Amino acid sequence: AGNPAAALAIVEGRMGIRSKVVSAGLTALRQLPEDRAREETARIAKKHLAKAGTGLGALELIATIAPLLGLLGTVLGMIAAFQALQQAGSKADPALLAGGIWEALLTTAAGMAVAIPASAALTWFESVITGIRQDIEDSATRLFVAEVPQDLPMAAE
């Protein structure tokens, strides 16, 4: 509404990333020339967005590796089942094979049971961060294109 002091009073001290960036931008506009205020606002935004993404790399690693570990267990289980078949020779018991194959497939299911929720959580968190990034870009842009009232003390350029 063209009242930076009121806007700063609203966002100052809030814990959300959006509020912290807007607060930093308003403060920078008061203390720095516009080009430096833009840089400071961008720096603060990048810092907070990077902090919000902490841990997503580990979640991505879990979502990627879990099915591979399950597949490794499947391959090892199938190797064991075929070794048992080879040792039994012509007197192979289907129950012996079924037990080995069951064990082998269990590891694949376990890997997928870990990977699917991890992948879903990763996608959700990334979409939340994308939404926050868009909101921050919009808010920061609005700070620098808004008309500033004449009574607002600004830094000299």
Give 3-20 pLDDT, tens digit per residue: 777 778 888 888 888 889
Does residue 64 have a pLDDT over 80?
yes
Predicted confidence at residue 84, as pLDDT, reads 81
Predicted confidence at residue 66, as pLDDT, reads 95
How is residue 107 annotated by DSSP?
Answer: H
Helices (H), the chain: 4-11, 17-31, 34-52, 56-88, 94-145
Contact 36, 61 (CB under 8 A): no
Give the count of beta carbons closer than 10 Å to the beta carbon of residue 17: 20
Does residue 156 have a pLDDT over 80?
no
Tens digits of residue pLDDT in 107-126: 999 999 999 999 999 999 99
SS (H, E, C) 12-24: CCCCCHHHHHHHH
Tens digits of residue pLDDT in 28-45: 988 889 889 999 999 999
Predicted confidence at residue 68, as pLDDT, reads 94
